[in-house]
Amino acid sequence: MSFILTRFGHKFNFDTLDINEIDINDIAWSLSNICRFNGHTKFFYSVLEHSLNVYDTLVLEYSYSNIDTQLGVLLHDAAECYLNDIPRPFKKELKYNNFTCEGFEEKILFEKIFKKFNIEISFTEWELIKFVDSKIFISEIEQLFNFDWELKKDIISYKHLIIKKSESKEWVRKEFLRLFSQLINKKNV
């Protein structure tokens, strides 16, 4: 039986995908330690910081108040806690049993993660999250690299988003967990 041992002692087995092994603290810990763009940035910028920026943009710019959508955007990269952050160009190329990595493994994990936290998102809401994520991706490229990428000509970035070094990984984790707890508490009222 193959599994990964998580920071908080869970044995996560991809074959069984027991939702009891999914822990929000593991997600926060792992994503705060994974650097975006496979670490090829001017400074460390975590997947968790990215998730907070996508969340802030969706809530502030689009005034989204639906709790499930807010939880969904906050957790939109949570599968990377278990699969790691595979750079976009490679996600389309990697295959497992004739399914691309971009859809298959992440889709299964998202279903389990969303089930664990009782999150329901419509296809339209998921498409909006992916749209905002893509625009933030371009903003990140503009600010985290010292050169111009051809990728960004089709998508306009968010000019208001300023990517900066965070205070600490601990601050990012605490902010993520604070928002998550706040949203879960609202959902369960």
The single-letter code of the amino acid at 33 is: N
> Which residues lie closer than 8 Å to 111 by C-beta, 6 or more apart?
none
Q: 21, 13 in Cβ contact below 8 A?
A: yes
Pairwise CA distance, residues 184 & 186, whole Å: 5
- Local structure of 181: helix, strand or coil: helix
The torsion angle over the Cα atoms of residues 111, 117, 120 and 124, rounded to 10 degrees, is -70
CA proximity to 60, closest of 164, 165, 136, 149? 136
- What are the backbone dihedrals phi and psi of residue 96, each rounded to the nearest 5 degrees, phi first? -140, 115
- In 3-state terms the chain splits into helix, strand, coil percentages (rounded to 5) of 55, 5, 40
Provide the pLDDT for residue 32: 96
CA separation for the pair 181, 128 (Å, rounded):
23
Element of type H or E holding 48: helix 47-62
User: pLDDT means per 10 residues in the chain (189 residues)?
Assistant: 84 85 96 91 92 90 86 94 71 53 67 93 89 86 73 54 74 96 92
pLDDT at 108: 81
- The pLDDT score that the predictor gives to residue 154 is 52
Token look-up 């949570």 returns: 78
Q: Please tell me the predicted confidence (pLDDT) of residue 97.
A: 46
Q: Residue 84 CB: number of other CB atoms within 10 A?
A: 11
